[in-house]
Structures are given as C-alpha cells and as structure tokens.
C-alpha cells in the first residue's frame, strides 16, 4: 500500500493531526497488507511521523 500525504503550507498541529489519523487508520484497518509506505515531502513531515511512530 502506498499513501501520499498532501503537501502544502500546513501548521505543525495540522501535520501532527494528519500523522495521527493516517497511522491510526492503517493500524486499525482489517487487511492482510503487510507493507505500508507513507510518502513525506520534507524532513519536517518525516519528523512528525517519526515522533508518532516512536512515541
């Protein structure tokens, strides 16, 4: 599965909300998909997702 997140001028709160929703959706999906890739457009978005995955 490949999920591209919308790139744009968003706030840190919006980026965190997008990460939370995307990760929760994937975790709760009843599917046999084994690999999911989030396509992030910059290091700031990566940091937000990384914090959500680690934390």
Q: Give the residue with greater pLDDT, 54 vs 1.
A: 54
Q: Kindly report whether the global pTM for this prediction surpasses the value 0.75.
A: no
Q: 48: Cβ–Cβ under 8 A, 6 or more apart, which residues?
A: 12, 15, 16, 18, 19
Residue 50 confidence (pLDDT): 93
pLDDT at 2 over 80: no
Q: Where are the domains of the chain?
A: 2-54
Encoded tokens for 54: 């680690």
Q: Angle 43-54/12-28 helices, nearest 10 degrees?
A: 50
Q: Report whether 24 contacts 53 (CB < 8 A).
A: no
Contacts for 10 with CB less than 8 Å, ≥ 6 apart? 18
Tens digits of residue pLDDT in 7-53: 566 777 888 888 899 889 888 988 888 888 888 888 888 899 999 98
């Amino acid at each position: 599965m490949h999920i591209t997140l919308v790139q744009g001028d968003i706030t840190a709160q919006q980026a965190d909300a997008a990460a939370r929703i995307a990760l929760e959706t994937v975790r709760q999906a009843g599917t046999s998909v084994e690999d999911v890739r989030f396509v992030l457009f910059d290091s700031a978005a990566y940091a937000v997702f990384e914090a959500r995955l680690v934390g």
